Amino acid sequence: MIEEIRIKDVGVIEESSLELSGGLNVLTGETGAGKTMILTALSMILGGKADASRVRVGSEKASAEAVVGVSTASRAWRRAEEAGAVDESEEGEEPREEELILARTMGAGGRSRAFLSGRTVPAGVLADVGGSLVAVHGQAEQLRLKSPAAQRRALDRFGGERLAELKERYREAFSRWLRARDEYERISSTSRERREEARQLQEALEEIDALELQPGEDESLKAESMRLENLEGLRSAGALASAALAGSEDAADAPNAVELVETARRALEAESDPALEALAERLATVTADLNDVAVEIAAFVTDLDVEGPGRLDEIQERRAAINALLRKHAPSVDEVLAWADEQRPRLEEIGQDDETLERLERERDEALAEAERLADELSEIRREAGRTLAERVSEELTALAMPSAELSVSVEPREDLDRHGRDEVALLLTPHAGAPAQPLGRGASGGELSRLMLAIEVVLAAADPVPTFVFDEVDAGVGGKAAVEIGRRLAMLARHVQVIVVTHLPQVAAFAETHVRILKGESEGVTSSDVTPLGDEERVTELARMLAGHETSDAARAHAQELLEDARSFAS
């Protein structure tokens, strides 16, 4: 709710601060005192058009600011978070009450600036935040329920839990239908491309499988190929190493490592010395190792002779086939094998397209049938709720001095479904007998429109609340008993939400929880207004002025006191 409004240099208001309560707040004052300027300031704060002509004469700029209490779980707070005006709430954090400060300045030259909790923002952000916090009723362009979408939402909330539960079931069916339909269309529209993809994948995988690749095979074949291309060098190195280690038939008298180490070992063993014996044992181990290496070298050379040129041809042919595959798919055998593993599920998926399409078609048709059935039920419940809403609002209009006016709720089906059903919802007003039903905002005066919206808001208050309602001209053209009924209904609405009313009627003002008087004065030839909250005695004086034109009349004061007592009796 709005906790405080601060205004500076707006029209006739030089500087004022207005504290508001959570119930019914009434603004009164003589014609021209500046009540309209408060609504002008509020319109600025809520992102409305900023008119430079509203800047007070002699001032460089006008400013208006509102301190608004909101829940951190509200749409307004989330929008403020998106705008960077407040810190974002932590996930899972419990909702709490916080303050938002909405402000606007208007320069005499026509430039305006908007602020949200101290941060400069576009005026549209203020309008977005304010639109979820305050509903202003007084002119057709200010109607909270002007759009068909807003009227449908209001009717759905009025329909209660039964409608809400059915709507949730409908949305689930509608979402299932959308998913199945979109997936069916996606697969159907790409069936030719998918078949070609499957053919190419099948050929590629068959080619890979036919080669029976082994992990790392390209590198091992490369190494073997290099070895076979250097056979003579390998044989020569092997022979030389083998002769040096263990000797050869061609050089039987030449010394070799095994014989030399063995000679050394025997020389050490010949002496009976523990240290030399230990070294001799180590030389025995060396001899065994040298023999083993010599044997392995001989085997290596023998294998070279067995493999020969035939094996090299074999390897080169295999490498050529593998390289052709690598050029198509990946730089290495390991990557080719990984790619193949990734593509096999894809091939299987595409291969099941026919089955998938049959399943999706079945799911799509079943979900659509369910959504259409629920949409029909939704339409019927909306019609029932619409009839009840229309009856209650029409009853309220009778009490508000519009006895011939009737509200009707039109629920007409469209051909296509959307996430809300298939209904076009419209609230229509018949202002008097014989007149055609027209959309809200047409065919009604400003006062009639305000009373119509008051009647609607009173009926919707518990089901579709907005934190703050502002009514202007709600009492235009009425008086007497009808004025009392307007006051009562404003008080009824204020039990659920904050209500701010600009009124000329004492019967309405008597129901206020907070009564503010706008008083016009003049200083040095410049008109100014002062905003003053009234206490009990001051309220009697103000109501007497509104009743009789002057506050000193005993009869007027007695009548004013009676109005206050009757209003308090209603409130209790």
Kindly list the domain boundaries of the chain, sorted by start residue.
1-144+458-534, 217-331
Please give the pLDDT value at position 190.
66
Can you give 251-308 as a three-state secondary structure string? CCCCCCHHHHHHHHHHHHHCCCCHHHHHHHHHHHHHHHHHHHHHHHHHHHHHHHHHHH
Over residues 541-556, mean pLDDT: 85
pLDDT over threshold 60, residue 526 = no
| Rounded (10°) angle between helices 333-351 and 191-211 | 140
Backbone angles phi, psi at 253, to 5 degrees: -85, -10
Please give the pLDDT value at position 296.
84
Percent of the chain's residues with pLDDT above 70: 89
Over residues 513-522, mean pLDDT: 82
Please give the pLDDT value at position 355.
73
For the domain 1-144+458-534, what is the CATH code?
A: 3.40.50.300
Q: What pLDDT, in 10s, does the model give residues 17-49? A: 889 998 999 998 877 666 778 888 888 898 888
Please give the pLDDT value at position 210.
84
Please give the pLDDT value at position 443.
64
Label residue 482 by pLDDT band (50, 70, 90): confident
pLDDT over threshold 70, residue 250 = no
The per-residue pLDDT of the chain, averaged, comes to: 84
Please give the pLDDT value at position 389.
94
The H or E element that residue 520 is part of is strand 514-523
Label residue 530 by pLDDT band (50, 70, 90): confident
The alpha carbon of residue 306 and the mean position of all alpha carbons in its chain are separated, in whole angstroms, by: 74
pLDDT over threshold 90, residue 73 = no
Label residue 142 by pLDDT band (50, 70, 90): low
pLDDT over threshold 80, residue 114 = yes
Rounded to 5°, the CA angle 13-16-19 comes to: 135
| Rounded (10°) angle between helices 217-228 and 333-351 | 140
Q: In this structure, are residues 378 and 400 in contact, taking their beta carbons and an 8 Å threshold?
A: no
Q: What pLDDT, in 10s, does the model give residues 390-445? A: 999 998 888 887 888 899 999 999 989 999 999 999 999 888 888 888 887 676 67
The first and second tokens of residue 84, run together, are 């960077």
Label residue 87 by pLDDT band (50, 70, 90): confident
Label residue 523 by pLDDT band (50, 70, 90): low
Please give the pLDDT value at position 464.
65
pLDDT over threshold 90, residue 458 = no
Label residue 375 by pLDDT band (50, 70, 90): very high
pLDDT over threshold 70, residue 201 = yes
User: Exposed e or buried b for every residue in 411-433, given b needs 16+ CB within 10 A?
Assistant: beeeeebeebbbbebbbbbbbee
Q: Where are the alpha helices (DSSP H) in 423-521?
A: 446-460, 480-494, 506-509
Over residues 507-519, mean pLDDT: 91
